[in-house]
Structure 1
Amino acid sequence: MNFSVGEIVEATGGELVAGRPGGALGPISTDTRTLKAGETFLALRGERHDGHEFVGEALRRRAAGLVIERSVWSACSPMPDGTAVVLVRDTQAALEDLGRAARDRLGCPVIAVTGSCGKTTVKEMIGQVLGPRLKGKTPPASFNNQVGVPLTLLAADEDDQFVLCEFGTNHPGEIAALAAIARPTIGVVTLVAEVHLEGLGSIEGVAREKGALVDALPPEGVAILNADDPLVTAMSGRSRGRTVTVGLHEAADLRAEDFEQSPAGLRFKAGGAVFKIPVLGEHQVVLALAAAAACREVGVPLQESAEALRRFEPPRMRLAVEQAGDVVVLNDAYNANPASMRVALGLLPLWPERRKVFFCGDMRELGEASRRAHENLGRAVAEAGVAHLVCVGPQSRATAEAAVAAGMNAAAVAVFDDAKAAAGAAGRFVKGGDLVLIKGSRAIRMEQVAQAIARACGK
């Protein structure tokens, strides 16, 4: 979406110090690596980098405009002739202001997805269904914060027929802030689980925060809720518009029946359509139905969604079944929390003939509940019939100790400080014919273990 210089000034409350108010500018970019000639570079301050350090690179790439903070203007000038420069107090606030301005131009449904688990999968499922049928925008990767959501809106075109947003959070008020920018008309809540407890305090705090999406929907909007999670279902009382519940529960508005699961994926019926999806986990039924329900709200029949999802590929490192020689790797390395750990362990019986090896990384951001959660996981591992448990990270030591206390052979349990060390030793624990589950929080980078196994086993 393009803005004139004057429109940027109006949206941000900034000051034009170079260039003409009526000058036309290209799309907003915050990354000089992908910036194209004629675009506008907005210099964000991040945890690792300050975008103002890359103003020179933006100019070398022939940016037509700059949005920068007043405090750095003297260090940045003089500017090449014709370059528009807008000074603002805070470039993060300016990005959000521009996201709101972009949203004002949209006349299409805006779909927002949140939840403790599964939101990226639902987003990708919706994108798979709607992408070939309607003109619209699905954000790349996990554009789910106060940078990604405005950028998603700014990437949209005024004639788009849908825009899809993902809302993440780790502290109170973040979902409400994202909703105030995107103003969604369709909201999907996947699940409430024990995640980000350091910031949100308790599972009730997680529910309050996720429910802020439902609060933000307009009277003409619709909330799509997980009927299998009581904390999500309870959010229906917070909606000013319609609600649609989905899941296996008998009270669900869109209910899955005749559910079957195999290593090849899921099969179930719902609303007269037959779904066959190459993903694993009973929880994926809710995710698929939530996606189908959202697509139905923008005019796509359930049967068309079911047909599109037969070709669905799960997002990278999210319960992805990978073959490494004759070893099957269940790569769920993207992230971890107690609920998703239980789901992953519950899938192991799908391969009854294979020996099970579990590379288990820390579950981060659990606050005071961390030790209890890791101990509970250790007991669950002992009950799951895992042949080798390889724990990675300081917090997962509690998992190892609890597994041994619950009866697992101490010789079958190992602990490593980090994923690099575990990856280097992976060959000690894995042999031909095994099923290997790999899972841990994003900060642990458990994908290093998956890569090591792929190399060692001949992928």
Structure 2
Amino acid sequence: MTLAEVTRAVGGTLHLSATDHEESPVEGVVDTDSREMGPGSVFVAKPGDVTDGHLFVGAAAEAGAALAIVERVVDAPISQIVVADAVAALARLAQEVVARVRASGQLQVVGITGSNGKTTTKNLLARILQDEGPTVAPRASFNNEVGAPVTMLRVAADTRFLVSELGASRPGRIAELAALITPDIGAVLMVGLAHAGGFGGVDATQKAKTELVQAVRPGGVAVLNADDPRVAAMAAVAAERGVAVRWFGRGPDADVRAEDVEVTASGTVCTIVVGGERFPLRLRVLGEHHVMNALAAVTIAGVLGVSTADAVARLETVEIAERWRMQPLGSDRVRIINDAYNASPDSMSAALRTVAQITEPGQRKVAVLGAMSELGEQAGEEHDRVGLQAVRLRYERIVVIGSAARRLYLAAISEGSWDGEAVFFETADEAFDYLRGELRDGDRVLVKSSNSAGLRFLGDRLGESFS
């Protein structure tokens, strides 16, 4: 696109540098991080809580950026488009670029949402699709009002598949993000208590996730979890919009289902059944709950024309879903399972069950747990449930970290049957010192918390210490 075309797309005012003119081209990365800039890139100067992107316009120019989208003119040798809201301009540019690529090529667009499993599912799907043609999918969990458009803006003229992970920080957010791409396929994985505090309860969360189904283009496909009644109810919305439904799940009515699921220390084995045909799958990603994510990926891929046999074969090459998501660290002597990038009551429960399932007789189960964020008024009760579950799954040691998780610790010691079963530390450093002396050969250690608790770095330290 030219500078003039970008200016029209974002609805701003163009201030040219001394060497540019309106028809000068821009054709590089678009990002809010000046460290990602290179020749021809577009830097979006987003004001932030900690710092202000306008402070880095000069650095972006030095790195070769061709354009800065700003909310005020900055003294730097680079053409600038002044807009009222840089994040809104980023979204408008993403919408324009996706529309152009779609009109001129073979681009097919997938949107994925759900209370849990979004990042794992998009990674599994991206692995399947990359062998079919050029595929764009988010880095890490780029699923908010900045990360989603940044991902969309990575599409090129030859991109065949765009996989967008859509998160919700508030009601209406998924609708806004999905409107930028009008998905051909919208997949809803589950409705749970993740972020329920920000929505006012699980009913409001269900309504927010339904926004993706409402955004799928007429004639498109909604891929829905047949095992989750709140997701299954979205089929009625799909029908109203002329959107077909493909079901995945463990039950007999799913179009793509899993049978004979077995959890092992090296992954999960199951049989995927599609149209009466059976396909053995050995998924190296730890955790029974990831079977549902694999089913969703296979279902989406099938809608896009990928055979089940090919999809399954490609899934078997995936070693981990993402860093800090059920990531095996340490060694066979002391195995650390670092799953502390995110946490909700559902994912916390699933992780605790998984480590309990893969721990052999004579080995100890150790849970290193921090707070689950964004649960609102349900936070206390849900932390209680986790503490009780850890005890009832017979974890020999329960290490709780941080004042926000203290209810979890109190519930564990209340339910526990002997002294010392659960311990509490204010900081991860204190917990690391304790665990370095406490852990022994044969221990299987789960490190699990929300991102805000920072325990993923504790998991990395433990993994290195016991490698």
TM score, norm. by length of structure 1: 0.94
Amino acid paired to 2:4: G
Q: Once the 2 structures are TM-superposed, how far is the Cα of residue 115 of structure 1 from its aligned partner?
A: 0.8
Greater shift, 38-47 or 190-199, is seen at 38-47
Greater shift, 30-39 or 86-95, is seen at 30-39
Amino acid paired to 1:302: T
Partner of 2:108: 109
Q: Structure 1 residue aligned with 2:64, among 62, 65, 84?
A: 62
Q: Once the 2 structures are TM-superposed, how far is the Cα of residue 129 of structure 1 from its aligned partner?
A: 0.8
Instruction: Indicate conservation of the 8 Å contact 1:226/1:232, yes or no.
Output: yes
Q: Once the 2 structures are TM-superposed, how far is the Cα of residue 364 of structure 1 from its aligned partner?
A: 1.1
Q: Does 1:326 align with 2:333?
A: yes
Identify if the C-alpha distance between structure 1 residues 7 and 375 changes in structure 2 by more than 3 Å, giving closer, same or farther: same
Q: Structure 1 residue aligned with 2:350, among 343, 355, 358?
A: 343
Greater shift, 293-302 or 266-275, is seen at 266-275
Partner of 1:362: 371
Instruction: Indicate conservation of the 8 Å contact 1:246/1:290, yes or no.
Output: yes
Structure 2 residue matching 1:182: 3-state secondary structure: coil
Partner of 1:402: 411
Identify if the C-alpha distance between structure 1 residues 41 and 454 changes in structure 2 by more than 3 Å, giving closer, same or farther: closer
Partner of 1:11: 9
Instruction: Indicate conservation of the 8 Å contact 1:264/1:278, yes or no.
Output: yes
Tell me the C-alpha RMSD between the 2 structures.
Answer: 1.6
Q: Once the 2 structures are TM-superposed, how far is the Cα of residue 430 of structure 1 from its aligned partner?
A: 1.2
CA distance in 2, matches of 1:56, 1:304: 47
Partner of 1:100: 95
- What pairs with 1:30-429 in structure 2 (closer than 5 Å)? 30-69=32-71, 72-73=72-73, 76-77=74-75, 80=77, 83-107=78-102, 108-239=107-238, 240=241, 241-269=243-271, 270-271=273-274, 272=277, 273-313=279-319, 314-324=321-331, 326-347=333-354, 348-353=356-361, 354-429=363-438
Instruction: Indicate conservation of the 8 Å contact 1:31/1:41, yes or no.
Output: yes
Greater shift, 33-42 or 225-234, is seen at 33-42
Q: Does 1:435 align with 2:433?
A: no
Structure 1 residue matching 2:93: 3-state secondary structure: helix
Q: Once the 2 structures are TM-superposed, how far is the Cα of residue 219 of structure 1 from its aligned partner?
A: 1.4
CA distance in 2, matches of 1:455, 1:350: 21
Instruction: Indicate conservation of the 8 Å contact 1:426/1:449, yes or no.
Output: no
Identity of counterpart residues, as a percentage?
34
Amino acid paired to 1:15: T
Structure 2 residue matching 1:363: 3-state secondary structure: coil
Q: Once the 2 structures are TM-superposed, how far is the Cα of residue 66 of structure 1 from its aligned partner?
A: 2.1
Structure 1 residue matching 2:372: 3-state secondary structure: coil
1:160-182, CA deviations, whole angstroms, 9 ceiling, x for partnerless residues? 11111101112111111111112
Structure 1 residue matching 2:233: 3-state secondary structure: helix
Greater shift, 293-302 or 261-270, is seen at 261-270
Structure 1 residue matching 2:36: 3-state secondary structure: coil
Structure 1 residue matching 2:234: 3-state secondary structure: helix
Structure 1 consecutive aligned stretches of length 4 or more whose deviation exceeds 3 Å: none
1:122-153, CA deviations, whole angstroms, 9 ceiling, x for partnerless residues? 00001111112211212211110111111112
CA distance in 2, matches of 1:16, 1:171: 33
Amino acid paired to 2:439: V
Q: Once the 2 structures are TM-superposed, how far is the Cα of residue 325 of structure 1 from its aligned partner?
A: 5.4
1:306-357, CA deviations, whole angstroms, 9 ceiling, x for partnerless residues? 0001111221121223333501222211111111111112121322321111
TM score, norm. by length of structure 2: 0.92
In the alignment, structure 2 segments of 5+ residues that lack a partner are none
Amino acid paired to 1:336: A
